[in-house]
C-alpha cells in the first residue's frame, strides 16, 4: 500500500498587532540581502580565499550559499551572532553537475547562471512555482549570445558553456538584475563583456551602481561612462574581506511605524554613503510627514501619527513600493506611485497584489500602467494576503498598526530577507 501523507495544515494567519501607543525603539537591522549575495558570489569567483562579514542569514542568502557550495566553493561560517554570519570563502574550480534551487530569489536566479556557465559540466536551475514566472529571457538570451547553451527561456533550465564573452545587447527594462548578473561574472569570461541596454529605462539604477562599486573594489575594471553601456575587462577578481551594511530596505516597515504611531524609530549604523536604494527612505518618509535626522551613525525618524500622501516616481527604488503603498493607504491625502511597472515581475505582481489587498480592507487603490493611485478611505480588518512576498507581508503589518483586525497570511514568508521579522515587530510594539 502506498504511504499516505497527511494534508499539510496551513499556518494560521498572523494577527498584526495594532499600536496602542507611539513606538519608541532602536532597531538594529541584519545585513543587506543585495550586498550579501553580491559579496558571496564575488568571493566565490575571486583569486583566493576571502571573508564576508555580518552577512545576512535568510532564505535568499541561504540559497546563494547552497548554490555556491554546489558549484564547488567552500563556505565556512566562522561565527554567527545577531549581527549576522562571518563567512570564510575559499573559491574552487567551478563544478558542473549541480542542481541549483533559486527559490524565489532574483539574486540567485539572475546572478548565479553566468557563473554556472563557467562550470566543467551542465548546471540545472529551478525554483519556487512562482519563480518560473519571473522574467529571465533577456539574461538567458544574453548568455547565449556570449556563448552559453541554455535549454529554456525561464526556470527551469540547464546551462552549459563556457561562454567566451564579448558584446551583447539586451533589454533590461524588466529588471536591473539582468545587467548586474552579467557584470558580476563578466571579468572571468575570456573576452570580458560589453553590455548595451536598448529599451525603456532600466529600473533600480542604485543596484547597478552597487554592482559596479563592488566590482571596482575587487580590482575589476568597469567602464560605465556611457549611459546604458557597461564594459567589464577580463581579469582577476581580487579576494577581499568585506563587511555587509545593514539592510536599509528592510528598515522601511520599522521606520513607517514611527509615522503611523507618531513615535520614534532609530536605526543604528545607517551608512553615510551607500548605493542601497533604502537610503531614499529619508526623502520619501519626509515627504509623507516624518522628521528624519541623523545622530552620529544613527538614523532617527519621528512621526506625528498623521501620514501625508505623496506623488513619487519609485523607478529607482521599486523594492520600497509595498511599504510606501501601505503608508499611502493610511494617509489623509491621495498618493500616486509611478515608474514601477517592472514590479509585475517581482516576487508576485506587486501592483495587482497591493491594489487587491488594500481594497480588500476597504481601501481605495487603483492599479495604473506603471504604478498605483491610492486615495484616503477608512480601512477595516480582514485577511491581508502576502502571495509569498516578504514585502507584501510587512506591508500588511504596517497597515495593521492603525487598523484593528488585520491578519497577515503567511507571515513566515518574511524569512526571504528577514527571518526575525515577527520578533522584531513584536519588540517594536512593546517599546515605549
Ligand atoms: O540587484 C539587486 O539586489 C536587486 C535589484 C532590484 O531588482 P529589479 O531591478 O528587478 O527591481 C530590487 O528590486 C531587488 O530587490 C534587489
Ligand atoms: C524584488 C525583490 O527581490 P528579488 O531579489 O528576489 O528580486 C525584493 O526583495 O523586493
Q: Which position among 209, 319, 347, 409 bears the catalytic label?
A: 319
Confidence at residue 166, expressed as pLDDT on a 0 to 100 scale: 98
Q: Is 319 a catalytic residue?
A: yes
In the chain, the domains with their CATH numbers are 14-29+246-430 (3.65.10.10), 33-234 (3.65.10.10)
Reported as a single tens digit per residue, the pLDDT across 154-206 is 999 999 999 999 999 999 999 999 999 999 999 999 999 999 999 999 999 99
Q: How confident is the model at residue 105 (pLDDT cuts 50, 70, 90)?
A: very high
The pick from 319, 344, 347 for probing ligand 1's pocket by mutation, whose C-beta has the most ligand atoms within 8 angstroms, reads 319
Confidence at residue 6, expressed as pLDDT on a 0 to 100 scale: 52
User: CB under 8 Å to 311, separation ≥6 — which residues?
Assistant: 335, 336, 338
Q: For residue 289, report the distance from its CA to the centre of ligand 1, in Å.
A: 27
The mean of the pLDDT values for the chain is 97
Confidence at residue 11, expressed as pLDDT on a 0 to 100 scale: 77
Q: For residue 176, report the distance from its CA to the centre of ligand 1, in Å.
A: 6
Residue 336, annotated as binding a ligand: no
3-state secondary structure of 77: strand
Q: For residue 342, report the distance from its CA to the centre of ligand 1, in Å.
A: 10
Confidence at residue 4, expressed as pLDDT on a 0 to 100 scale: 46
Cα separation, 365 vs 327, whole angstroms:
12
Confidence at residue 393, expressed as pLDDT on a 0 to 100 scale: 98
The pick from 347, 348, 388, 413 for probing ligand 2's pocket by mutation, whose C-beta has the most ligand atoms within 8 angstroms, reads 347
Residue entry with cell 538584475: 177
Measured by CA distance, the residue closest to atom 15 of ligand 1 is 319
Burial of 144 (0-12, 13-18, 19+ CB in 10 A): middle
| Ligand 1 atom with least separation from CA of 211 | 1
Cα separation, 129 vs 340, whole angstroms:
23
Q: How confident is the model at residue 432 (pLDDT cuts 50, 70, 90)?
A: confident
Measured by CA distance, the residue closest to atom 3 of ligand 2 is 106
Reported as a single tens digit per residue, the pLDDT across 229-285 is 999 999 999 999 999 999 999 999 999 999 999 999 999 999 999 999 999 999 999
Confidence at residue 3, expressed as pLDDT on a 0 to 100 scale: 43
Cα separation, 103 vs 387, whole angstroms:
14
User: CB under 8 Å to 396, separation ≥6 — which residues?
Assistant: 16, 326, 357, 384, 386, 406, 408
Cell readout for 242 is: 568585506
Confidence at residue 110, expressed as pLDDT on a 0 to 100 scale: 98
Q: Is the pLDDT of residue 142 over 90?
A: yes
Cα separation, 365 vs 368, whole angstroms:
10
Cα separation, 187 vs 218, whole angstroms:
11
Q: How confident is the model at residue 7 (pLDDT cuts 50, 70, 90)?
A: low
For the question of an ipTM over 0.85, the answer is yes
Amino acid at each position: 500500500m502506498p504511504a499516505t501523507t497527511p494534508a499539510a495544515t496551513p499556518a494560521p494567519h498572523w494577527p498584526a498587532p495594532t499600536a496602542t501607543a507611539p513606538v519608541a525603539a532602536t532597531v538594529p537591522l541584519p545585513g543587506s540581502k543585495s550586498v550579501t549575495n553580491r559579496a558571496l558570489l564575488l568571493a566565490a569567483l575571486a583569486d583566493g580565499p576571502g571573508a564576508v562579514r555580518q552577512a545576512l542569514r535568510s532564505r535568499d542568502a541561504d540559497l546563494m550559499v547552497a548554490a555556491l557550495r554546489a558549484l564547488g566553493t567552500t563556505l565556512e561560517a566562522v561565527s554567527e551572532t545577531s549581527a549576522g554570519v562571518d563567512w570564510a570563502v575559499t573559491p574552487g574550480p567551478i563544478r558542473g553537475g549541480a542542481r541549483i534551487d533559486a527559490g524565489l530569489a532574483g539574486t540567485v536566479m539572475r546572478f548565479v547562471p553566468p557563473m554556472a556557465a563557467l562550470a566543467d559540466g551542465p548546471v540545472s536551475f529551478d525554483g519556487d512555482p512562482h519563480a518560473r514566472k519571473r522574467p529571465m529571457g533577456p539574461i538567458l538570451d544574453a548568455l547565449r549570445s556570449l556563448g552559453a547553451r541554455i535549454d529554456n527561456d525561464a526556470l527551469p533550465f540547464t546551462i552549459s558553456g563556457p561562454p567566451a564573452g564579448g558584446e551583447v545587447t539586451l533589454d533590461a527594462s524588466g529588471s536591473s538584475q539582468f545587467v548586474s548578473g552579467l557584470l558580476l561574472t563578466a571579468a572571468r569570461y575570456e573576452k570580458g563583456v560589453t553590455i548595451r541596454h536598448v529599451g525603456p529605462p532600466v529600473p533600480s539604477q542604485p543596484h547597478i551602481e552597487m554592482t559596479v562599486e563592488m566590482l571596482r573594489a575587487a580590482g575589476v575594471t568597469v567602464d560605465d561612462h556611457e549611459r546604458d553601456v557597461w564594459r567589464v575587462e577580463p581579469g582577476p577578481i581580487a579576494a577581499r574581506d568585506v563587511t555587509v551594511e545593514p539592510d536599509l530596505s528592510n528598515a522601511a516597515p520599522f521606520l513607517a511605524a514611527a509615522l503611523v504611531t507618531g513615535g520614534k524609530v532609530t536605526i543604528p549604523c545607517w551608512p553615510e554613503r551607500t548605493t542601497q536604494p533604502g537610503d531614499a527612505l529619508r526623502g520619501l518618509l519626509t515627504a509623507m510627514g516624518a522628521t528624519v535626522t541623523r545622530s552620529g551613525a544613527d538614523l532617527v525618524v519621528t512621526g506625528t501619527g498623521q501620514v501625508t500622501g505623496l506623488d513619487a516616481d519609485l523607478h529607482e527604488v521599486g523594492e520600497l513600493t509595498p511599504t510606501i503603498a501601505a503608508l499611502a493607504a493610511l494617509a489623509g491625502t491621495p498618493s500616486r506611485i509611478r515608474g514601477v511597472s517592472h514590479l509585475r515581475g517581482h516576487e508576485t505582481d506587486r501592483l495587482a497584489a497591493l491594489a487587491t489587498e488594500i481594497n480588500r480592507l476597504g481601501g481605495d487603490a487603483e492599479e495604473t500602467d506603471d504604478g498605483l493611485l491610492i486615495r484616503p478611505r477608512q480601512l477595516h480588518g480582514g485577511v491581508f494576503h502576502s502571495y509569498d512576498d516578504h514585502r507584501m507581508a510587512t506591508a500588511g503589518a504596517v497597515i495593521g498598526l492603525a487598523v484593528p483586525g488585520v491578519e497577515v497570511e503567511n507571515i513566515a514568508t518574511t524569512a526571504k530577507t528577514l527571518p526575525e521579522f515577527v520578533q522584531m515587530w513584536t519588540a517594536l510594539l512593546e517599546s515605549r
